[in-house]
Amino acid sequence: MNRASVGLVEVPAGPDAIFFAAVKPLVEGVCLMVETNTHQLVLQQVYLDLSLFKIHVHDCNGLSKESIDVEQIVKTTLPDATLELLQKQDKTSQRYKFSLIMEDHSMNMMALNYSDLKQWIVGINMLVQHKAQLTRLSSLVK
């Protein structure tokens, strides 16, 4: 059988490989600015757990930690300012705001570069689209 290796996981080529290629950057993690409940932006390490069911958020000192249930995420949104940057094709900006919309609240974040924004928007959207298949997909993680 033809197989595609996607970093931390190895899955059959085809639709599963596309899914894992999209979520691989989330598993690897990135530093994003995350808005706190006091509306301050704080640099946080954000990554998808290998179970594919939790996104962990903790400060760079490891002092505070929060987990987001992937099943609670409804969608991602981009504010007008970020959309304007993207329409102008301004990929040199240092900051790109976006939000995770959950069933009962939202979390505002800011990517520090275009690549991180794109990877996280694509990866989160892939997780949302495949919620019903996460158990099967997580069994393929090696």
Contact 112, 34 (CB under 8 A): no
Q: How far apart are CA 94 and CA 46, in angstroms?
A: 18
Give me the helix-helix angle, 15-28 and 114-129, nearest 10°: 130
Residue 21 burial (CB count, 10 A): 17
Residue 127 burial (CB count, 10 A): 22
- DSSP conformational letter for 39: S
What pLDDT does 92 receive?
Answer: 77
Q: For 54, phi and psi rounded to 5 degrees?
A: -135, 140
Tokens 């790109």 belong to residue: 96
Residues 142, 9, 119, 47, Cα dihedral to 10°: 10
At residue 51, what is the residue type? Answer: S
Q: CATH topology for 3-138?
A: PH-domain like (2.30.29)
Convert the pLDDT of each residue in 79-108 to its tens digit.
998 988 888 877 777 799 999 999 999 999
The residue ranges of the chain whose pLDDT is under 50 are: 1-7, 9
Task: Report pTM.
Answer: 0.85
**Two structure tokens written together for 34:** 């995350």
**Two structure tokens written together for 11:** 């899955």
Strands 65-69, 54-59: pairing is antiparallel
Q: Is 43 helix (H, G, I), strand (E, B) or coil?
A: strand
